[in-house]
Structure 1
């Protein structure tokens, strides 16, 4: 490992986070070469602890987030005399222990100390640490992932608002099943021999997301823009519950132009003057339709407002549609 002359004590090297490439899990016959971690649904942060009890947090975009998450400052106090740079993800977990990005959004970008302190009590964050790039004057980026992981575990930095979640080696399918059952966003696979490449999106780190499919009822549509004018830019999706048709969000991603033209024809024969949804719909210029068409969509979870997160169109379900 490279030794750096870093003075004074607070002058730690600035290290941009390494990024993962979207890809399938490694093949089963190659699993032994990889480590597997939970993919957290949060905000990436590099943590700088110079060893004097302080801590500085920097987001992937390069913004200083130290004041935003005051409950994480104690991490610096856990590392006296050990200058270190750590990589991790800031999350807010719900009552089931699952990361909730909607709750985290209430914390993001808050710089006012009093407001941040109040939110820290209402929606406390947790820093999931998964890498160490610098320790005790040595740059660790040339070390393989497996060795960096061992050094990270050895720091013993568990605390009330930060931890080092375990990883597994050579068991990708088990990691996939466990994260799916646990309701997590997906799996990160990291080659055990991989170096840490600051700012690089490397194929040695792979991210694979879980997606959920759902049948939704189309209760309206919003017109597209530009060359999609006159066609549905997005459909307004709902789910039936005892109170009526509950609006869950708009879905436009994944629709081909051909599918938009087909939808325009189908929707033109079932218009209605008022909204079929039981509650308010926050879409301006919406066109309402009778709630008869059913579509299958994919999404990654639910927001705090009970809206679909990252919904994507899959297909129309004519076997479930009622046009009579």
Structure 2
């Protein structure tokens, strides 16, 4: 079995399309809404899947084990996104959530694979045949990736287009997709770095937040969260309050959040400046979520936030 180097994924910076004058210097990929994954293929037919945090998630996705045989005897480390596809072929994170967290339950993962199949969208190759590719340009890595011909029942290599960023973004908007990832053609792969050479452009504004507390619901929901109190980590490690979110979740998600919050209960407020809210329950700031919102107020609060998803793949340190 060939030894493969551990590689942390390169991360994209939130932003907007590059200027039209520089459009031809960038490639554009559809932004997938799933779980980031690096696939380690030593060339003996086996596969090791690691999440963004480095956790081994291979047992959670048994349908992806055939990728090793598809590559054959070549050794590689591939970067991609695990998604669940809806009836129109779009990534659906809500569906994928039923597949995440099952690495410790292989039998359940196998059952769920028949109900909600996972698909690995490959978009980069960072190691191949004993040679690191992190120091060669994205355009060259992309050519190498496409020559591998990796298209199978549970994995594929979606196309990337050079230039025409505005048209590509409009296409994703019309198709109901999340947005684009713009990648500078000359950029190297920077492991573990959130680089401006990769830009994520979303059709809706989203923000990863840390939960610092919650407010109870009303009536029959009095024992469940009616709203979550949101914070953003500051460079000095403190947590700045950015508002509350009370919409966007199902009853099942609300109950799941209630159980998680109960394990994180705290006696003191984790925010730098305690919010002026009555009846708050404080929590240790360990839970990360993603919310959608329209804009920010002058005070930095998120306007009209709506809960999008729990980010079990992130910790507050990832947002610093």
- The TM-score, its normalising length taken from structure 1, stands at 0.66
1:144 corresponds to which of 134, 137, 148: 137
2:122 corresponds to which of 123, 129, 134: 129
Q: Which residue of 2 aligns with 1:71?
A: 63
Matching of residue 62 in structure 1 with residue 54 in structure 2: yes
Cα distance in 2 for residues equivalent to 1:160 and 1:138: 28
Instruction: State the aligned residue count.
Output: 239
Q: CA deviation at 1:310?
A: 3.4
Q: Render the CA deviation track for 1:172-191: whole Å, top value 9, x for unaligned.
A: 01110111112111110000
User: Between Structure 1 and Structure 2, whose CA radius of gyration is higher?
Assistant: 1
Q: Which residue of 2 aligns with 1:81?
A: 73
Q: Give yes or no for contact 2:245–2:307 (8 Å, CA) kept in 1.
A: no
Q: Which residue of 1 aligns with 2:100?
A: 108
Q: CA deviation at 1:211?
A: 1.3
- The TM-score, its normalising length taken from structure 2, stands at 0.67
Relative to structure 1, is the Cα distance of residues 121 and 181 closer, same or farther in structure 2, using a 3 angstrom cutoff?
same
Cα distance in 1 for residues equivalent to 2:113 and 2:227: 40
Q: CA deviation at 1:60?
A: 0.4
SS at match of 2:24: helix
1:180 corresponds to which of 162, 173, 180: 173
1:39 corresponds to which of 27, 31, 34: 31
Q: Give yes or no for contact 1:176–1:186 (8 Å, CA) kept in 2.
A: yes
Q: Give yes or no for contact 2:50–2:58 (8 Å, CA) kept in 1.
A: yes
Relative to structure 1, is the Cα distance of residues 14 and 209 closer, same or farther in structure 2, using a 3 angstrom cutoff?
same
Cα distance in 1 for residues equivalent to 2:186 and 2:77: 20
The unaligned stretches of length 5 or more in structure 1 are: 1-8, 214-218, 227-231, 239-245, 251-259, 265-283, 286-295, 300-307, 312-324
Q: CA deviation at 1:97?
A: 1.3
Relative to structure 1, is the Cα distance of residues 173 and 70 closer, same or farther in structure 2, using a 3 angstrom cutoff?
same
The unaligned stretches of length 5 or more in structure 2 are: 207-216, 219-224, 231-242, 255-274, 282-291, 296-305, 310-320
2:195 corresponds to which of 187, 199, 202: 202
Cα distance in 2 for residues equivalent to 1:119 and 1:146: 37
Q: Which residue of 2 aligns with 1:16?
A: 8
SS at match of 1:197: coil
SS at match of 2:142: helix
SS at match of 1:151: helix
2:21 corresponds to which of 29, 43, 51: 29
SS at match of 1:310: strand
Cα distance in 1 for residues equivalent to 2:248 and 2:136: 49
2:83 corresponds to which of 75, 88, 91: 91
Matching of residue 49 in structure 1 with residue 41 in structure 2: yes
Q: Give yes or no for contact 1:222–1:233 (8 Å, CA) kept in 2.
A: no
Q: Give yes or no for contact 2:229–2:245 (8 Å, CA) kept in 1.
A: no
Q: Give yes or no for contact 1:67–1:116 (8 Å, CA) kept in 2.
A: yes
Relative to structure 1, is the Cα distance of residues 73 and 30 closer, same or farther in structure 2, using a 3 angstrom cutoff?
same
